[in-house]
Amino acid sequence: MTENTRQGTTLVLGGTGKTGRRVVERLAARGLPVRAGSRSGTPPFDWEDRATWAPALWDVESVYVTYYPDLAAPGAAASIGSFAALAAGSGVRRLVLLSGRGEEEARACERTVQESGAEWTILRASWFNQNFSEHYLLEPVLSGVVALPAGNVAEPFVDVEDIADVAVAALTQDGHAGRIYELTGPRLLTFADAAGEIAKAADREVRYVPVSAEEYADALVEHGVPAEEATMLTELFTKVLDGRNAHLTDGVRRVLGREPRDFADYARDAAATGVWNG
């Protein structure tokens, strides 16, 4: 692949999120013009406020598209489709969508980007390593018990550093238009395996406890998650963690020419930051 010398401003939606902020950092480090799209951005971007879309797209050539809370959320495909059409009509040349691996609802979102008229690349990512250290599962890890309705299913956990590297390549290099990349780590682990890797790296007790979907949904609600969102997340869990994703892909190697980062390396580096010290 070759660097695209026509690179203009890149809008990174979810610019303060797990992958988005890393994409922003990488583009800025290269001296490329980048705009972080978030409610606190300048100008602000809010998926729920369409009046913010056009100002955020001003003078933008490419967009990294992430959707909150999830591509499986009601109305996600319609919102992403409307945004993609507006982006293409505003002169955006390239759209890179962060999608979910094995998520049927995400396919509708992908199609709206593919039909926008702009160049597109789809990144179908597995479960993030960083879910254990950034927000989502950090509190359970610190408590020593990670309870999820995942049974003993294996997952090819992927590192968000790899996702960000792939996204930047798709945004800045030629040769990725019209491609769908499935992104996984280099090996399969169960959630019990992942908890064991974290326990070893952090030198503390961390164990995985399988729970039912009903128990998980109830726990989310008890922690303040709206009931509708809790139901959506639980249904998503039970669908994608049924073994459908229990195989590896070569997406990271195809784009970056190297192997993906291993979960053990992630756990070691995360532990070194003190995030799991409590």
Higher pLDDT, 73 or 271: 271
Instruction: Flag whether 27 is in a domain.
Output: yes
Q: Give CA–CA dist 182/244, Å, rounded.
A: 13
User: Are the CB atoms for 215 and 151 separated by under 8 Å?
Assistant: no
Predicted local distance difference test score (pLDDT) of residue 3: 52
Mean of pLDDT values over 41-59:
97
Cis, peptide link before residue 149, omega less than 30° from 0: no
User: Locate tokens 């995400």: which residue?
Assistant: 106
Instruction: Flag whether 18 is in a domain.
Output: yes
Domain span at residue 109 reads 9-126+160-184+247-257
| pLDDT tens readout for residues 246-275 | 999 999 999 999 999 999 999 999 999 999
Predicted local distance difference test score (pLDDT) of residue 235: 84
Q: Give CA–CA dist 174/160, Å, rounded.
A: 22
Say whether 104 sits in a helix, a strand or coil.
helix
- CATH at residue 97: 3.40.50.720
In this predicted structure, the answer to whether residue 1 has a pLDDT above a threshold of 60 is: no
Instruction: Flag whether 231 is in a domain.
Output: no
Say whether 128 sits in a helix, a strand or coil.
strand
Instruction: Flag whether 122 is in a domain.
Output: yes
Instruction: Flag whether 54 is in a domain.
Output: yes
Domain tally for the chain? 1
Mean of pLDDT values over 96-118:
96
4: phi > 0 → left, psi -120 to 50 → alpha, else beta; which? beta
| pLDDT tens readout for residues 163-200 | 999 999 999 999 999 999 999 999 999 999 999 999 99
Which candidate, 180, 179, 184, places its Cα nearest to that of 252? 184
Instruction: Flag whether 40 is in a domain.
Output: yes
Q: Give CA–CA dist 230/236, Å, rounded.
A: 10
Instruction: Flag whether 72 is in a domain.
Output: yes
Predicted local distance difference test score (pLDDT) of residue 5: 45
Say whether 221 sits in a helix, a strand or coil.
helix
Give the pLDDT band (50/70/90) at residue 237: confident
Instruction: Flag whether 76 is in a domain.
Output: yes
